[in-house]
Structure 1
Amino acid sequence: MSNDKKPDFSNVQGGVQSTEQVKPDFSNVESKVASTEDITGGEGGGGSTGQQTYTVEKGDNLSTIAKQFYGRQDWKRIYDANRDQLDNPDRIKPGQVLKIPQDDAQD
């Protein structure tokens, strides 16, 4: 049973198209969030608690913020002071305003 005729696929065309839309490029977008909250503490003024605030920026983590304010990575102090808005110390977001408690270890 030999059949000398073979199917002719010479005019078959193929192609692939994605149904996914082109995603916008946001790589050059910049934003800045500033707090309108008054910074309390420092010198002068009655009733000062010595507490400051810090607005989280992209790339920040609690350890680096603590090192900036305390000179050491005492992140737990900042985490404890902000438990009302932080569920996880590894999940801070740019734009969050964190309370920075006074450093009790200063001499």
Structure 2
Amino acid sequence: MNQSATSTKTVSGMSVLVNFVRSLTDLSRALRHRGEIRHLAEFDDRMLKDIGLTRSDVSCALSEPLLRNPSWVLVRSAERHSRGERSDRSSRPVRPVVPIVRQVKSCA
């Protein structure tokens, strides 16, 4: 019975260690990709267009939180551009949700 308790603690400890190593690996990868995206920021607009990106795509990727891998933002942006979708939906005029009600004169 003592041996099974020891093996359970070992398995739990290994699980924590595996998760810790995975987190460090993910952080390292995100920082490496962030550095590569900084190099993309040095490209001119024509070069970015050749690879299917815009300057705002690169800026959005670099504005991601430090622990999140910013390369996924660029992958999604390039896919969206290749399908011809609009990247910034907030640039079009927004209609009000509630209609504007004008005061009506009373007939009395």
Q: TM-score range by the shorter chain?
A: under 0.3
Give the structure with the larger strand fraction: 1
The normalised TM-score by structure 2 is: 0.24
Give the structure with the larger helix fraction: 2
